[in-house]
Copies of this chain bind each other. A is one copy, B any other.
């Protein structure tokens, strides 16, 4: 039986690997809100487990084994399906779903998972644009092009946003930056200055720490621009 703690470790390893390419003790400690020494202990246990769940060498970081990855993807599937269910079926705001899903992901049954997946029409993306792993363990690539890398003049569509900070998500909602929102990159101030964007009728200047956490797809050259 795999504990909630182990599930959260494996999920965290998967996610950190996606974001940073390497998974260190201290990144895990920060991500999980736990002391570094606790991470070392747990990671050693995961490496000793049968079947082995991670590969681990002292001071060299951690990677998931196929068995560990399978568990991680199951938990992530739960998490993202639940997030979407809360948003669609229960009317949750997109900044409130993560905390709830963080707990529910560990306790729902296969039946619950299947029922909400069917009810949602076997969705592919969660409310923040993250891909939902399939039941057989495949995942689409998450959208990776940051808004901060878009060029002035480009029209882009929001495909994903970082979902870890509720205040950030509320700020985006206020701005009108929701999933699939289309926006025009107006201008970039020099020296890492703010990026000016236009959403619908409204213009905003966004700092880099914001535009780094919004991911977009460039829209094929469009002929529009309704500045009031």
Does the CB pair A96–B115 fall under 8 Å? no
The secondary-structure label for the interface of chain A is helix
- Residue A139 lies at the interface, judged by CB distance under 8 Å to chain B: no
Which residue of chain B is the closest to A107 with respect to CB atoms? B103
- Residue A3 lies at the interface, judged by CB distance under 8 Å to chain B: no
Q: How many copies does the complex hold?
A: 2
Q: Which residues of B contact A198 (CB under 8 A)?
A: none
- Residue A30 lies at the interface, judged by CB distance under 8 Å to chain B: no
Q: Which residues of B contact A107 (CB under 8 A)?
A: 103-104, 106-107
Counting chain B CB atoms within 10 Å of each CB, the highest count among A89, A92, A107, A115 belongs to A107
- Residue A112 lies at the interface, judged by CB distance under 8 Å to chain B: yes
Does the CB pair B115–A109 fall under 8 Å? no
Give chain B nearest CB distance to A88 CB in angstroms: 12
In the complex, A212→B99 CA distance in Å?
A: 43
Does the CB pair A112–B100 fall under 8 Å? yes
Convert A66-94 into 0s and 1s, putting 1 for each residue whose CB lies closer than 8 angstroms to a CB of B: 00000000000000000000100111100
Does the CB pair A90–B116 fall under 8 Å? yes
